[in-house]
Amino acid sequence: MKQLVIGDIVSRAWDLAVKHWPIFVLLTFVYNMISGFGLNIDQTLYMEGIQNNDPLLISQAITVSPWMAVTFLLAIYLSYVMLNLYVNAHCTGKPYATMAEAFKVDFNQLAIYFCVELVYGIIVAIGCVALIIPGIYLAIRLWYAPLLAATQGASFTEAFSRSWEMTKGHFWELLLLGLTMIGIGILGFCACCVGYFFAAVIIEFMLVISFFVLKPEMPASEATDYVEVQ
């Protein structure tokens, strides 16, 4: 059985992040700006709702502008592009051949990725509501579904089934990997803004590297076809 060596994954992710940080830090910054645009939160009312466990106050504290739908779709598009750039950087040593190629997408596959991300979030949320543990378990077993949809041409159902199969027998390793990512994120946050964005790049490379460690090897004929398509 394949094994995830956390130290090796962190080391390789660090090397890739150092090599490619300018483009990925910039894209991560833009993604975060887009993701938060149009969403306004009254912090005082929100915290009061949290303290009193009052869903009504929490909902009243959050207001959404009409621009939110547009920026949400832009964020999905950008996250799709970024995942492909991360995979390219890992597999070929270069995030993109040309800038035009970097932002060109298959809109059919983008729609599948959107649906996978949406359903993944709903599944994990429902699992977390059911005493937290099921949510963590489902989050890890289906962890690679969005990546499969965005970068491997997987269909909606295939993305979930392949992720489930890939993560079989690796739950505890992946849980440790996830906790390591959280630790790196906290360290990056403590190092102010730039540190946070650089940490986010390391975390994404960790996800991609672990994916290719666990990814089943393709038969020679399929591997040749894949290289030619790439």
> In the beta sheet, which residues pair with residue 153?
none
Question: In whole angstroms, what is the distance from residue 129 CA to residue 144 CA?
Answer: 22
Q: What are phi and psi of 142, to 5 degrees?
A: -105, 15
Residue 71: count of CB within 10 angstroms of its CB: 17
Q: How confident is the model at residue 229 (pLDDT cuts 50, 70, 90)?
A: very low
What integer pLDDT is reported at residue 6 of this predicted model? Answer: 94
What are the extents of the domains in the chain? 6-213
Largest separation between any pair of C-alpha atoms in the chain: 60
What integer pLDDT is reported at residue 217 of this predicted model? Answer: 72
The better pLDDT of the pair 226, 95 is held by 95
* pLDDT exceeds cutoff 60 at 101: yes
What integer pLDDT is reported at residue 37 of this predicted model? Answer: 62
Q: Which helix (H) or strand (E) holds 101?
A: helix 99-102
Q: How confident is the model at residue 227 (pLDDT cuts 50, 70, 90)?
A: very low
pLDDT, one tens digit per residue, over 163-205 is 999 999 999 999 999 999 999 999 998 877 678 899 999 999 9
Rounded mean pLDDT, 137-151: 96
Rounded mean pLDDT, 19-32: 93
What integer pLDDT is reported at residue 148 of this predicted model? Answer: 97
Question: In whole angstroms, what is the distance from residue 68 CA to residue 39 CA?
Answer: 7
Percent of the chain with pLDDT strictly greater than 70: 80
What integer pLDDT is reported at residue 1 of this predicted model? Answer: 66
* pLDDT exceeds cutoff 50 at 56: yes
* pLDDT exceeds cutoff 90 at 25: yes
Q: What is the pTM of this model?
A: 0.84
Q: Residue 226, SS3?
A: helix
Q: How confident is the model at residue 33 (pLDDT cuts 50, 70, 90)?
A: confident
CA separation (Å) from 148 to 20, 60, 116, 126, 226? 22, 37, 10, 22, 14
Q: Could you give the dihedral angle defined by the CA atoms of residues 170, 172, 175 and 179, in that order, rounded to the nearest 10 degrees?
A: -130
21: its two tokens: 């940080």
210: its two tokens: 């672990």
Q: Residue 40, SS3?
A: strand
